[in-house]
Structure 1
Amino acid sequence: MDIIQLVGLGLVAAVLILVIREQKPLFAFLLAAFTGLYVFLALAGRIEEVIAMLQRLADRSGIPGIYLETVLKIIGIAYIAEFGAQIVRDAGQESVASKIEAAGRVFILVLAIPIIGVIIETVIGMLPEGG
């Protein structure tokens, strides 16, 4: 599915949501959530292509797979947390959306700690001994 189709779907869904929201707010919310989920799933194939390309580049450059895997997990967490927060915002729950975003940041920090540790060890290893 190309971008024109996804934008068209989004516009049609937006108009339907605006029309339905007054009479059936729950149905309007469900329509928004399912439209967002459909767009997200439609992009899954494209995301797989990007991941495969990054994997090839990492293999050629000699970067250990664990680093690429961790970065991809971090990106995935960011997208999923943002997607979830936006759906909750659509339901009018800003406070819960903020909590989802905070949880995403914590998960990202937990995954990033080993990479940060390697960077710090590398910098320390480049410093002259003794001082």
Structure 2
Amino acid sequence: MEMIQVIGLGLIATVLILVVKEQKPMFAFLIAAATGILIFLMLVGKIGSVVEVLERIAESSGIDLIYLKTVLKIIGIAYIAEFGAQVVKDAGQDSIASKIELTGKVLIMVLAIPIISIIIETVMKLMPT
């Protein structure tokens, strides 16, 4: 049912944008941005539910929550960077959008360093000396 609501909202926004774009391109952009934010806000509850389930699984399996939180931050950065880049692309600023995507990738790489180092340490412990 929620997917139908998102599609309906997207179709209504698209029709409004097409009607308004000729006369007021700025309003068309604002409608697109507001629609994107509204769709994102519709998903926040679902994202919270997924995070709660993953935290319960991590606690029951004995995994340190710092690793789960790091992975969730990485996923969050990826989604937010993609969303921001798409909004900026809608405004016609592809070069700025690519800089947003690059920043997201660098931040993901920085957050991944502790996890990568632990994986390497674990592999090194498993190897015969």
Structure 2 length as normaliser, TM-score? Answer: 0.98
Q: Partners in 2 of 1:43 and 1:127 — Cα distance?
A: 44
In structure 2, stretches of 5+ residues that fail to align are none
Q: State the partner residue of 2:81.
A: 81
Query: How far does residue 128 in structure 1 lie from its aligned partner after superposition?
Result: 1.4
RMSD of aligned residue pairs (Cα, Å)? 0.9
Q: State the partner residue of 2:6.
A: 6
Indicate yes or no: 2:16 matched with 1:37. Answer: no
Query: How far does residue 19 in structure 1 lie from its aligned partner after superposition?
Result: 1.1
Q: Partners in 2 of 1:6 and 1:127 — Cα distance?
A: 50
Q: 1:79 is matched by which residue type in structure 2?
A: Y
Q: Partners in 1 of 2:12 and 2:116 — Cα distance?
A: 44
Q: State the partner residue of 2:120.
A: 120
Q: 1:56 is matched by which residue type in structure 2?
A: R
Question: 1:91-106 counterparts in 2 under 5 A?
Answer: 91-106=91-106
Query: How far does residue 8 in structure 1 lie from its aligned partner after superposition?
Result: 0.1
Deviations along 1:30-68, whole A, 9 cap, x unmatched?
A: 100000000001110000000001011111111100000
Q: Partners in 2 of 1:7 and 1:24 — Cα distance?
A: 24
Q: State the partner residue of 2:56.
A: 56
What SS does structure 1 have at the residue aligned with 2:48?
helix
Q: Partners in 1 of 2:38 and 2:5 — Cα distance?
A: 12
Q: How many aligned positions are there? A: 129
Q: Report sequence identity in percent.
A: 65
What SS does structure 2 have at the residue aligned with 1:63?
coil
What SS does structure 2 have at the residue aligned with 1:121?
helix
Which runs of at least 4 in structure 1 moved beyond 6 Å after TM superposition?
none
Q: Partners in 1 of 2:49 and 2:32 — Cα distance?
A: 27
Structure 1 length as normaliser, TM-score? Answer: 0.96
